Amino acid sequence: MPTEPTTRRRVAFVFPIYNEEANIDLLHKTVDEVTAPHAGRYDFSFLYVDDGSRDGSLAKLTELSACDQRVTVIELSRNFGHQMAVTAGLDLVDADAVVIMDSDLQDPPRVALELLEKWEEGYDVVYAQRRSRQDSPFKRFTATAFYWFLRRMAAVDIPKNTGDFRLIDRKVVDELRKYRERDRFLRGLVSYVGFKQTAVLFDRDKRHAGVTGYPLTKMLRFAADGILGFSTTPLRMITRMGYLISLLSFLGVLYVVGVKLFAPETAVPGWAFITIAMFFLGGIQIIMLGVLGSYIGRTYSQVQNRPLYGVASVRSRPGEPAEDRRSAAR
Ligand code: UDP
Ligand code: MG
């Protein structure tokens, strides 16, 4: 061995697995081959999170862990969904950098090496951004529409065409562990925590075998998690709508008064009063909903209970225990 084991940086791969029986062997073989030439430099490990698979995935993984000591298998007690599986992986992993990847070989393992290169340049988050993708036109269309919408609505800058395929440094993993919100949209959280982030472009392959674990219903829920988790725009829209309706109702009132004054013969008795009251109340009600909405928005972000800030480093004179202060700042 040319280098001391202690100086090798530890890099862990996290693979969420849901019914990937037919992909596991090839996946592991590919990551093994891709990482082998760099084994002198990095200490690689592979964390497979079985998300309640109903096929033979778990048996395959158990087999794998028996013949490769770098493999760890976590079995979740049922299917919790992709984002939870990755969260479990991030909670339990122990490494200097973590590469999160899909297990159906849609994310090509060789790209992980490019992510590592960027990490060596000092980036804390390196996300793999799709230059092209091989999915169905429907999936491509919905994904494009979703990212367009999300970028317009969300308070954080979530890069488009980016899945969960990314490398994150240990300090970002530590930060993410503090985010315990239940409706998780991890790629949004990773953008939200900050640190030095960059992209690597890649061409996304076809799923190797099996079927997608994201049918339309799950996809819609996921999209809602992304939008609702990172934006209170829909709530704010209520207020805007209230003002708009109030403006219209004000114009309506002018019209009613005009009719009453200048063409009273066309007005049915009682009409002016009822119409004005209706317009007026409609506007007021929606504005009030907006007021409630803005309090709900605040309550929501309070309940999400996200950390108030993240500290990337503390710089002080040499000799001071800066690291201690970084943890004290939490
Ligand atoms: N996955 C998971 N739990 C689920 C659904 C999916 O862990 O409930 C995993 C799946 O095994 C894969 C990754 O999440 O590694 C992405 O899922 P999939 O390829 O089915 O999604 P798509 O690429 O079609 O969006
Ligand atoms: Mg896939």
CA of 222 to the centre of ligand 2 (A): 14
Residue 142: predicted pLDDT = 82
In terms of Cβ atoms closer than 10 Å to its own Cβ (0-12, 13-18, 19+), residue 119 is buried
Residue among 30, 83, 87, 102 to mutate when testing ligand 1 (max atoms within 8 A of CB):
102
129 three-class SS: strand
CA of 51 to the centre of ligand 2 (A): 15
Atom of ligand 1 nearest to the CA of 213: 20
Residue 327: predicted pLDDT = 54
Same domain, 176 and 277: no
Atom of ligand 1 nearest to the CA of 17: 11
Tokens of 12: 């862990």
**What is the residue range of 289's domain?**
233-303
The answer to whether the CB of 185 falls within 8 A of the CB of 230 is yes
Residue 18: predicted pLDDT = 94
Ranges of residues in the chain whose predicted pLDDT is under 50:
1, 3
Question: Has residue 3 been placed in a domain?
Answer: no
Neighbours of 117 (CB within 10 A): 12
> Which tens digit of pLDDT belongs to each residue from 129-180?
988 777 778 878 888 888 888 888 877 888 888 889 999 999 999 999 999 9
Same domain, 168 and 197: yes
Rounded to the nearest integer, the mean pLDDT of the chain is 86
Residue 324: predicted pLDDT = 54
User: For 201, how many CA atoms within 13 A lie in the half-sphere containing its CB?
Assistant: 2
Element (H, E) at 77: none
Same domain, 173 and 220: yes
Same domain, 217 and 247: no
| pTM given for the model | 0.81
CATH number at residue 48: 3.90.550.10
Residue 39: predicted pLDDT = 87
Residue 83: predicted pLDDT = 94
Question: Has residue 2 been placed in a domain?
Answer: no
Question: Has residue 36 been placed in a domain?
Answer: yes
Same domain, 132 and 272: no
Q: Which amino acid is at 51?
A: D
Place of tokens 């200048």: 262
CA of 147 to the centre of ligand 1 (A): 19
Q: Which residues surround ligand 2, an ion (CB under 5 A)?
A: 102, 104, 106, 207
Nearest CA to ligand 1 atom 24: 212
Domain count, the chain: 2
Same domain, 170 and 282: no
Among the listed residues 265, 185, 178, the one whose alpha carbon sits nearest the alpha carbon of residue 221: 185
Residue 322: predicted pLDDT = 54
The answer to whether the CB of 90 falls within 8 A of the CB of 14 is yes
Same domain, 194 and 243: no
Q: What percent of the chain lies above the pLDDT cut of 70?
A: 95
